[in-house]
């Protein structure tokens, strides 16, 4: 009998939708929440795009800003590790 080993996937910074690719779809999600902050009532609420604003706070500073776009851009059009 074999042993199944589960591995946790590590996603690239900017892969907001967790599809293992950093694409225009991730940009769109970040754009939906641009200028949101952790002070906003819906910070942890899943929106119509199936994501919460906090998921787009890539630098974890409590706000969705140009700095989050910069982090996403650094990995744009890249694919994460394939297991």
- pLDDT tens for 12-24 read 999 999 999 999 9
**pLDDT, position 76:** 97
Question: Is residue 3 pLDDT above 60, yes or no?
Answer: no
pLDDT band at 2 (very low <50, low <70, confident <90, very high): low
Encode pLDDT of 28-81 as tens digits: 999 999 999 999 999 999 999 999 999 999 999 999 999 999 999 999 999 988
Largest CA distance in the chain: 53
Question: Is residue 6 pLDDT above 60, yes or no?
Answer: no
Query: What tokens does 73 get?
Result: 């851009």
Burial of residue 57 (CB within 10 Å: 0-12, 13-18, 19+) is: buried
Q: Are 44 and 52 in contact, with CB atoms under 8 Å apart? A: yes
């Amino acid at each position: 009998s074999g042993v199944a080993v589960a591995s946790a996937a590590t996603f690239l910074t900017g892969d907001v939708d967790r599809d293992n690719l950093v694409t225009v779809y991730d940009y769109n999600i970040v754009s939906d929440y641009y200028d949101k902050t952790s002070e906003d009532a819906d910070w942890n609420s899943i929106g119509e795009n199936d994501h919460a604003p906090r998921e787009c706070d890539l630098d974890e500073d409590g706000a969705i800003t140009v700095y989050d776009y910069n982090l996403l851009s650094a990995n744009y059009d890249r694919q994460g590790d394939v297991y």
